[in-house]
Each structure stands twice: as C-alpha cells, then as structure tokens.
C-alpha cells in the first residue's frame, strides 16, 4: 500500500508524516517511510537545486527522480508488503512546478505514468496560519520566500486535490489550521487501517 502526504510549505506536513509512520508502526503495520525529492544523488540534485534550476528543467528533474524513486524504492517496498508513506509526491509537482511557470497539463504529462498512491493526503490550512508557521521556522526554498507565495500555494493545493480526484485518485483532504499533528495523523492512520484491513481480508 502506498500513501503520499503533500501540502504547502509550513503546513506541518513533515511532522504529520512522521506521526503517521509512528502510529502505523504502533498498530503493527510494517512501514517504509520515504520522501521526495528522494535521497538518491538525483534527488539531492533536485532538492538542493531549486535556486539554480527552474521551470521545465526543474520539472523534468523532479519527474526523473520520481520515476527512479518508484522503481528503486516504492515498488519494491510495496511488493514486500510494506506500507510506503512518502513525504511529497505528484501533488507537490502539480503545485510547485505550476508556481514555477509550467502549465499544469505539461506537469501532469511528465508525471502521469508514475504509480498513483492508494491514498493521496492533501494537508492544507488557512494561508495566514501557514504564513505564521513559516515565519517561525524560516523558509526552506525560494517558493516559500516569494511574496504572496503561501496564498498561491494553498490555493493551488486545493486545485491539485480536485484535479487528482477527477483523475481517479483517492484523495483525503485535511485542514490543519487548528488540529495538531497527532490528531491529523490519527485521521490518516484510520483511513490507512480501513484500506489495509480490506486488502488483507
């Protein structure tokens, strides 16, 4: 089973992802945590190259890392019966690469051959809440440093969720404006358990 967790920078996505992994393990579900960009050489190039690479160059680099990630890590883990939980996946490309000036249809064409998650979590919050959290932890990328970027990113994640649902992906949208990471993670793990149990019955 494959679950991806995406959301705007500062929403608490990585914290929620860690809580999901911990709660799933506590429920005796074998978990393989991962992230995108991946920890491969290609992924590190993408992760640390957002200031150097832009538009189509970055979109293609992210997609290339995704396909390698899928072949070398995601599919093998799913095949051995693990729950794969990825911090970022295609939904983030449908937002960040669009923010970078690449059309959504082009981004989708680059990524539509990737395995879609069994559950795509889109974690969002009010833009003012996200902006406050970002100011507390500091920006991690140029997307987070751009004026007005948080408002656009939150709006584009809502659009990405609708687009993925229309494309047949099971999307779980959650609002983290006031809910804590453990509470949000419990909601996600409940959905995981339901599908996990059905898949093994």
CATH of the domain at 43: 3.40.50.300
120, 40 contact by CB (below 8 A):
no
pLDDT digits over 97-144, tens only?
Answer: 999 999 999 999 999 999 999 999 999 999 888 888 777 665 556 665
How far is 192 from 103, CA to CA, in rounded Å?
A: 32
Pairing of strands 119-124, 31-35: unpaired
Which tokens is 49 given?
């190259």
Q: Which pLDDT does position 124 carry in this prediction?
A: 95
Count of domains forming the chain: 1
How far is 148 from 145, CA to CA, in rounded Å?
A: 9
pLDDT digits over 28-57, tens only?
Answer: 999 999 999 999 999 999 998 888 899 999
What angle do the packed helices 127-137 and 149-166 form, to 10 degrees? 120
Q: DSSP 3-state assignment of 133? A: helix
Q: Which domain holds residue 194?
A: 2-199
Q: DSSP 3-state assignment of 41? A: helix
Which tokens is 172 given?
């779980």
Bridge partner residues of 123 (DSSP):
174
Q: DSSP 3-state assignment of 68? A: helix
pTM of the model: 0.93
13, 6 contact by CB (below 8 A):
yes
**What φ, ψ does residue 83 adopt, rounded to 5°?**
-85, 115
Distance, C-alpha 117 to centroid of its chain: 10
pLDDT digits over 136-172, tens only?
Answer: 665 556 665 665 678 899 999 999 999 999 999 999 9
Query: In the structure, what pLDDT confidence band is assigned to residue 61 with cuts at 50, 70 and 90?
Result: very high
């Amino acid at each position: 089973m494959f679950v991806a967790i995406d959301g705007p920078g500062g929403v608490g996505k990585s914290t929620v992802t860690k809580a999901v992994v911990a709660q799933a393990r506590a429920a005796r579900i074998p978990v393989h945590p991962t992230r995108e960009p991946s920890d491969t050489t290609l992924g590190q190039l993408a992760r640390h190259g957002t200031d150097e690479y832009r538009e189509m160059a970055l979109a293609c680099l992210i997609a290339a890392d995704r396909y390698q990630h899928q072949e070398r890590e995601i599919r093998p883990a799913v095949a051995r019966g693990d729950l794969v939980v990825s911090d970022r996946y295609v939904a983030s490309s449908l937002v960040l690469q669009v923010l970078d000036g690449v059309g959504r249809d082009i981004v989708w064409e680059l990524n539509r051959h990737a395995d879609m998650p069994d559950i795509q979590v889109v974690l969002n919050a009010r833009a003012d809440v996200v902006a406050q959290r970002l100011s507390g932890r500091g920006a991690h990328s140029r997307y987070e440093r751009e004026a007005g970027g948080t408002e656009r990113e939150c709006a584009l994640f809502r659009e990405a969720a609708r687009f993925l649902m229309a494309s047949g992906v099971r999307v779980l949208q959650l609002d983290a404006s006031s809910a804590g990471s453990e509470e949000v993670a419990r909601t996600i793990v409940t959905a995981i358990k339901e599908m996990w149990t059905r898949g093994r019955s």
